[in-house]
Protein backbone atom coordinates (compact mmCIF):
# COMPACT_ATOMS: atom_id res chain seq x y z
CA UNK A 1 0.00 0.00 0.00
CA UNK A 2 1.35 3.36 -1.01
CA UNK A 3 1.45 6.36 1.32
CA UNK A 4 -1.38 8.04 -0.60
CA UNK A 5 -3.59 4.96 -0.25
CA UNK A 6 -2.79 4.76 3.46
CA UNK A 7 -3.76 8.40 3.98
CA UNK A 8 -7.03 7.90 2.10
CA UNK A 9 -7.85 4.79 4.17
CA UNK A 10 -7.12 6.68 7.42
CA UNK A 11 -9.31 9.57 6.29
CA UNK A 12 -12.22 7.25 5.49
CA UNK A 13 -11.79 5.50 8.85
CA UNK A 14 -11.80 8.85 10.66
CA UNK A 15 -15.00 9.91 8.87
CA UNK A 16 -16.72 6.64 9.79
CA UNK A 17 -15.64 6.91 13.44
CA UNK A 18 -16.82 10.53 13.63
CA UNK A 19 -20.21 9.60 12.18
CA UNK A 20 -20.56 6.67 14.57
CA UNK A 21 -19.65 8.86 17.56
CA UNK A 22 -22.13 11.54 16.51
CA UNK A 23 -24.89 8.96 16.07
CA UNK A 24 -24.17 7.40 19.45
CA UNK A 25 -24.21 10.83 21.12
CA UNK A 26 -27.52 11.73 19.46
CA UNK A 27 -29.08 8.42 20.50
CA UNK A 28 -27.90 8.91 24.09
CA UNK A 29 -29.37 12.40 24.22
CA UNK A 30 -32.65 11.19 22.72
CA UNK A 31 -32.79 8.38 25.25
CA UNK A 32 -32.17 10.80 28.11
CA UNK A 33 -34.88 13.15 26.84
CA UNK A 34 -37.37 10.28 26.55
CA UNK A 35 -36.48 9.12 30.07
CA UNK A 36 -36.85 12.61 31.57
CA UNK A 37 -40.15 13.19 29.76
CA UNK A 38 -41.47 9.83 30.94
CA UNK A 39 -40.36 10.62 34.49
CA UNK A 40 -42.11 14.03 34.40
CA UNK A 41 -45.33 12.44 33.09
CA UNK A 42 -45.19 9.83 35.85
CA UNK A 43 -44.72 12.51 38.52
CA UNK A 44 -47.65 14.57 37.23
CA UNK A 45 -49.92 11.53 37.02
CA UNK A 46 -48.95 10.54 40.56
CA UNK A 47 -49.81 14.08 41.73
CA UNK A 48 -53.17 13.94 39.94
CA UNK A 49 -54.01 10.63 41.63
CA UNK A 50 -52.97 11.96 45.04
CA UNK A 51 -55.10 15.09 44.81
CA UNK A 52 -58.02 13.05 43.47
CA UNK A 53 -57.75 10.80 46.50
CA UNK A 54 -57.55 13.73 48.93
CA UNK A 55 -60.69 15.32 47.50
CA UNK A 56 -62.61 12.04 47.23
CA UNK A 57 -61.97 11.16 50.88
CA UNK A 58 -62.72 14.64 52.27
CA UNK A 59 -65.86 15.45 54.23
CA UNK A 60 -66.40 18.96 52.85
CA UNK A 61 -64.94 21.60 50.62
CA UNK A 62 -65.02 24.00 53.54
CA UNK A 63 -64.17 27.11 51.54
CA UNK A 64 -62.64 28.46 48.35
CA UNK A 65 -61.09 31.91 48.61
CA UNK A 66 -58.01 33.76 47.38
CA UNK A 67 -57.38 30.81 45.06
CA UNK A 68 -57.07 28.30 47.92
CA UNK A 69 -59.27 25.22 48.29
CA UNK A 70 -59.82 24.35 51.95
CA UNK A 71 -60.76 20.72 52.46
CA UNK A 72 -62.13 19.36 55.71
CA UNK A 73 -60.13 16.23 55.11
CA UNK A 74 -61.18 14.15 58.10
CA UNK A 75 -62.80 14.28 61.54
CA UNK A 76 -59.99 12.78 63.59
CA UNK A 77 -61.65 13.23 66.98
CA UNK A 78 -65.17 12.43 65.70
CA UNK A 79 -66.70 15.56 67.24
CA UNK A 80 -68.36 16.74 63.99
CA UNK A 81 -66.42 20.01 64.22
CA UNK A 82 -63.59 21.30 62.05
CA UNK A 83 -60.26 21.36 63.83
CA UNK A 84 -57.47 23.33 62.17
CA UNK A 85 -55.29 20.22 61.97
CA UNK A 86 -58.04 18.48 59.97
CA UNK A 87 -57.71 21.03 57.16
CA UNK A 88 -55.77 20.35 53.96
CA UNK A 89 -55.28 23.32 51.68
CA UNK A 90 -54.88 22.80 47.94
CA UNK A 91 -52.99 25.61 46.22
CA UNK A 92 -53.60 25.48 42.44
CA UNK A 93 -51.21 28.00 40.83
CA UNK A 94 -51.95 30.58 43.54
CA UNK A 95 -50.47 33.94 42.57
CA UNK A 96 -49.26 32.56 39.25
CA UNK A 97 -46.65 30.38 40.96
CA UNK A 98 -46.81 27.68 38.27
CA UNK A 99 -47.17 25.13 41.07
CA UNK A 100 -49.91 22.94 42.41
CA UNK A 101 -49.22 22.31 46.08
CA UNK A 102 -50.91 21.08 49.22
CA UNK A 103 -50.43 22.28 52.80
CA UNK A 104 -51.15 20.28 55.94
CA UNK A 105 -51.08 21.56 59.50
CA UNK A 106 -50.37 20.15 62.93
CA UNK A 107 -50.18 21.26 66.54
CA UNK A 108 -48.85 18.93 69.24
CA UNK A 109 -51.05 20.28 72.04
CA UNK A 110 -53.79 22.66 70.90
CA UNK A 111 -57.25 21.91 69.51
CA UNK A 112 -58.45 24.87 67.44
CA UNK A 113 -61.95 24.69 66.05
CA UNK A 114 -62.89 26.74 63.01
CA UNK A 115 -66.27 27.71 61.62
CA UNK A 116 -67.13 27.59 57.95
CA UNK A 117 -67.81 31.33 58.00
CA UNK A 118 -64.27 31.97 59.24
CA UNK A 119 -62.85 29.89 56.41
CA UNK A 120 -65.11 31.57 53.85
CA UNK A 121 -63.92 34.97 55.08
CA UNK A 122 -60.29 34.01 54.45
CA UNK A 123 -59.37 34.17 58.13
CA UNK A 124 -57.46 30.89 58.29
CA UNK A 125 -53.94 32.35 58.09
CA UNK A 126 -54.58 35.19 60.55
CA UNK A 127 -56.31 32.92 63.07
CA UNK A 128 -53.67 30.23 62.88
CA UNK A 129 -50.57 32.46 62.78
CA UNK A 130 -47.99 31.27 65.36
CA UNK A 131 -50.36 28.54 66.50
CA UNK A 132 -49.87 25.88 63.83
CA UNK A 133 -46.95 24.29 62.05
CA UNK A 134 -47.56 23.85 58.34
CA UNK A 135 -45.95 21.48 55.87
CA UNK A 136 -46.17 22.45 52.19
CA UNK A 137 -45.66 19.90 49.42
CA UNK A 138 -45.27 20.92 45.79
CA UNK A 139 -46.86 18.20 43.64
CA UNK A 140 -46.72 19.78 40.17
CA UNK A 141 -44.16 22.25 38.81
CA UNK A 142 -44.39 24.39 35.68
CA UNK A 143 -48.13 24.27 35.17
CA UNK A 144 -50.11 26.91 33.27
CA UNK A 145 -53.69 27.73 32.21
CA UNK A 146 -54.95 26.47 35.56
CA UNK A 147 -58.73 26.57 36.04
CA UNK A 148 -60.72 25.49 39.09
CA UNK A 149 -64.44 24.74 39.02
CA UNK A 150 -67.07 23.24 41.31
CA UNK A 151 -70.54 21.80 40.84
CA UNK A 152 -71.83 24.09 43.63
CA UNK A 153 -70.54 26.80 45.95
CA UNK A 154 -68.89 25.48 49.12
CA UNK A 155 -69.81 23.95 51.48
CA UNK A 156 -72.42 22.42 49.16
CA UNK A 157 -69.67 21.28 46.76
CA UNK A 158 -69.72 17.61 45.83
CA UNK A 159 -67.41 17.71 42.80
CA UNK A 160 -64.11 19.53 42.20
CA UNK A 161 -62.31 19.99 38.87
CA UNK A 162 -58.77 21.34 38.43
CA UNK A 163 -57.49 21.61 34.85
CA UNK A 164 -53.99 22.61 33.82
CA UNK A 165 -51.25 22.28 31.20
CA UNK A 166 -47.67 21.14 31.64
CA UNK A 167 -45.02 21.62 28.93
CA UNK A 168 -43.61 18.26 27.83
CA UNK A 169 -41.28 17.97 24.84
CA UNK A 170 -42.05 21.60 23.92
CA UNK A 171 -45.78 20.79 23.77
CA UNK A 172 -48.53 21.69 26.22
CA UNK A 173 -49.92 18.49 27.74
CA UNK A 174 -53.43 18.79 29.24
CA UNK A 175 -54.27 17.23 32.60
CA UNK A 176 -57.45 17.23 34.67
CA UNK A 177 -58.17 16.43 38.29
CA UNK A 178 -61.83 15.58 38.66
CA UNK A 179 -63.06 14.14 41.94
CA UNK A 180 -66.36 13.67 43.75
CA UNK A 181 -66.53 13.79 47.54
CA UNK A 182 -67.55 10.23 48.34
CA UNK A 183 -68.00 10.93 52.05
CA UNK A 184 -69.69 14.34 51.72
CA UNK A 185 -70.90 15.38 55.18
CA UNK A 186 -73.89 17.40 54.04
CA UNK A 187 -75.97 15.94 56.89
CA UNK A 188 -73.89 18.06 59.29
CA UNK A 189 -74.82 21.37 57.62
CA UNK A 190 -77.47 23.67 59.05
CA UNK A 191 -79.03 24.27 55.64
CA UNK A 192 -78.50 23.80 51.91
CA UNK A 193 -77.08 27.27 51.15
CA UNK A 194 -73.57 28.62 50.70
CA UNK A 195 -73.90 30.28 54.12
CA UNK A 196 -74.41 27.01 55.98
CA UNK A 197 -72.57 26.17 59.19
CA UNK A 198 -71.96 22.86 60.91
CA UNK A 199 -74.61 21.79 63.37
CA UNK A 200 -71.97 20.07 65.48
CA UNK A 201 -73.68 16.69 65.68
CA UNK A 202 -76.15 14.55 63.80
CA UNK A 203 -78.73 14.98 66.56
CA UNK A 204 -78.91 18.79 66.54
Cα–Cα dist 85/113, whole Å: 9
Residue 1 belongs to a domain: no
Residue 159 belongs to a domain: yes
Residue 104 belongs to a domain: yes
Cα–Cα dist 80/190, whole Å: 12
Residue 59 belongs to what domain range? Answer: 30-188
Residue 139 belongs to a domain: yes
Q: Work out the percent of the chain whose per-residue pLDDT is above 90.
A: 53
Tens digit of pLDDT for each residue in 102-126? 999 988 676 788 999 999 999 998 8
Residue 22 belongs to a domain: no
pLDDT at 100 over 80: yes
Residue 147 belongs to a domain: yes
Tens digit of pLDDT for each residue in 117-173? 999 999 998 888 777 888 999 999 889 999 999 999 999 999 999 999 998 877 888
Q: Give residue 34's pLDDT.
A: 47
Query: How does the average pLDDT of the chain come out, rounded?
Result: 84
Cα–Cα dist 73/76, whole Å: 9
Residue 132 belongs to a domain: yes
- The total of structural domains in the chain comes to 1
Residue 53 belongs to a domain: yes
Amino acid sequence: MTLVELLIALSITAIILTAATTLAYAMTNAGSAIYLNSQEQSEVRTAVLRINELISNSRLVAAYNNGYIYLWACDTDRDNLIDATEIIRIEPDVGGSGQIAISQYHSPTMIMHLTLSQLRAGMFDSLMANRLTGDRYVLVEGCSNVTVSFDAVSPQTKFVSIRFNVIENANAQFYEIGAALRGWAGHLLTNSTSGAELVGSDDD
